[in-house]
Structure 1
Amino acid sequence: SAQQAFDAWRQVYNHERPHQALDMATPISRYRPSPRAYPERMPPIEYGDADAVVRVGLNGEVRFQSRRFKVSSALANLTIALRACPNTDGCYDVYFLHHRIDTVDLKERSRSS
């Protein structure tokens, strides 16, 4: 089967075949488990007190100030923060955690896509 062929290839690739990038060592000889434990449950998402926090819908859209716009289906059911852009009325930077992922201008006619 394809799975058996892959398992055999993986054995050779990681345990037998020397790799030039590893000074001709095998990957298994360099592998070390991470000292950090993978959390059973991710900590809750927190944003600043001045942020407008909204939940992304299953379709990847959010509603904010009577407007709807697409963010990303990958963020479905998670919260994002909208922060007013300084010196620009109706403009908001969109954040997921500490990453700015977009900027929206609510004065534009439509952002749905």
Structure 2
Amino acid sequence: MKLGVEPRFIPPAAPQHNGRHERMHRTLKDETAKSPASDRMEQQARFDAFRRSYNEERPHEALEQTTPASHWSRPGRLLPERIDEPWYDADHEVRRVRSEGSIKWRGETVFIGEALAGELVGLAELEDGGHIVRFIGRDLGVIDPALRFHRFAPPRARLRSAVETQRKPE
């Protein structure tokens, strides 16, 4: 998002919305991980061979039986040398997301999301006493007065347990 790339969410458990990507993962698993390698070096070699084959040798039906590498060209723009930290209005309190995806808020640990580890988020108070959590220009969710985070995007299955562990006993 710092570079202007916006996430697009699909409903949980709806691979038909992202079929090409899901198919690539199935092929990757079939060719590299069914009966995994005996060590990390051998496993990495399998991944490297798969990447080379998938992109440079294997024809793709969606590309009229050509390879992805034959369509790739270097981007016309370079990434910036330095990416500035997000800036928030004066009515926001700013917190840095910890490596496990949480922030310290009102004396409690609140899980926001692992994808934001190391990033600054802004929190602005709402009329009901909750706080909206923002990253750059995107509203991520709300921390309610009971200090529970409610995300606006559909929750990922593997994060649900992390969110549940952050809830205070009632």
Confirm or deny a common fold (TM above 0.5). Answer: yes
**Structure 2-normalised TM-score?**
0.51
Instruction: Give the unaligned 5+ runs of structure 2.
Output: 1-41, 149-164
* Mapping for residues 4-83 of structure 1, pairs under 5 Å: 4-59=45-100, 60-63=102-105, 66-70=106-110, 71-83=112-124
Larger strand fraction of residues = 1
Report if the CA contact (8 A) 1:94-1:103 is conserved.
yes
CA distance in 1 between counterparts of 2:134 and 2:125 reads 11
User: Secondary structure, in 3 states, of the residue corresponding to 1:49?
Assistant: coil
Q: Comparing both structures, which one devotes a greater share of its residues to helix?
A: 2
Amino acid at match of 1:97: I
Give the aligned length: 107
What percent identity do the matched residue pairs reach? Answer: 32
Q: For structure 1, which runs of at least 5 residues remain unmatched after alignment? A: none
Q: Provide the alpha-carbon RMSD of the alignment.
A: 2.7
3-state SS of the aligned residue for 2:121?
strand
Contact between 2:121 and 2:133, CA under 8 Å: does it hold in 1? yes
CA–CA distance in structure 2, aligned partners of residues 54 and 30 of structure 1:
42
Report matched runs for 1:84-95 at 5 Å.
84-85=125-126, 88-95=127-134
